[in-house]
Amino acid sequence: MIRRVALILTCALSGCADGPAASGTPDGAIPGPDRGPAVDRGVDRAFTPDAARKPTLTKLRSLFEMSHGAAVDPAGHIFIADSYGKHDATPRVYRLDPPYQGALSPTTITGSTPAGLLWHGGSLYVCDVSANAVRVHDATLAPVQSLSVPMPWNVQVLPDKSLLVVTFDGRVIRLDDSAQTEVLSGLEHPFDIVAEPDGKHFWVSEQGPEAAKGGGVRRHALDGTLDVTSSFGWVNPEGIARGPQGDIWVAETALGQIVRVTPDGSAAAAFGGLTLPAVITPFPDGDLLVVTVRQDTALYRVGTGS
């Protein structure tokens, strides 16, 4: 059976009202991304490790279904993509202010299928999958730029200001001021992307060809060379984020787990028992935001031990 991500996007492109029915099979939600000068995946933060502190998981609140992207700005405001208009029938980006118990505030950012979000350098990047665009908004959320990219899932900003975009059609594309360069192709339902601070390596999650065969989480050099393959029994890894200690945290959607991957590729589940976790992105303090996408749809905070 082809991954449900393909079915969900097909519904988005053809106008299905509700998308595929929920089931125990891997969900196809788009993960979301990290953000801000001190928040970006791929940017180290200052931290003091506390060996006595273990990772913790706290439920923040319930949420509408099928949120496919999230980002957190340096002030701790959460931006959430309502990719299929589940909240008010219009696909839109919402803002949620600390302590995250109040009403969602609608922003002026709408789209066809707003998905992966990234807060970086005072700007919010929005991947609109079915509109084939990555849109950039300034700190006031005013539109600044729209970049043409085929079916973008998620985006990262490299130190040289070029972009790395992972796409629905199985590619990683690099964009700079003058060109688009294909870095990788033939990926098996790739989902999310995280750049390393050196700007020379990146991690990609792949959901795999079929539900029975599992996917993977791998690190590549910027020229596309495979560098590290994580060792874990992946079934359907989706959202990925870089923690403050350099580990990669993965939402293993089908298994309902949050998995921690070390730089050498070793991996172990930190938490389990979640219902379809798909989106994962950092808070300014190094903790992580996790969004589940079906049934018990909710926001969670992962204390990383930083």
Return the CATH class of domain 4-303. mainly beta
Mean pLDDT of 286-306: 88
CA distances from 262 to 196, 214, 230, 266 (A): 13, 20, 8, 5
Question: What was the pLDDT predicted at 213?
Answer: 65
pLDDT tens digit sequence for 34-73: 322 222 333 333 333 344 458 999 999 998 888 889 999 9
pLDDT tens digit sequence for 249-266: 999 999 999 999 999 999
Instruction: State the Cα–Cα distance between residues 109 and 112, nearest whole angstrom.
Output: 11
pLDDT tens digit sequence for 173-203: 999 877 899 999 999 999 999 999 999 999 9
Question: What was the pLDDT predicted at 38?
Answer: 29
Mean pLDDT of 100-125: 96
Query: Please, what is the average pLDDT of the chain?
Result: 84
pLDDT tens digit sequence for 152-181: 999 999 999 999 999 999 999 999 877 899
Instruction: State the Cα–Cα distance between residues 180 and 132, nearest whole angstrom.
Output: 14
Q: Which residues contact 58 (CB under 8 A, 6 or more apart)?
A: 300, 301, 303
pLDDT tens digit sequence for 10-25: 444 444 433 333 333 3
pLDDT at residue 32 is higher than 50: no
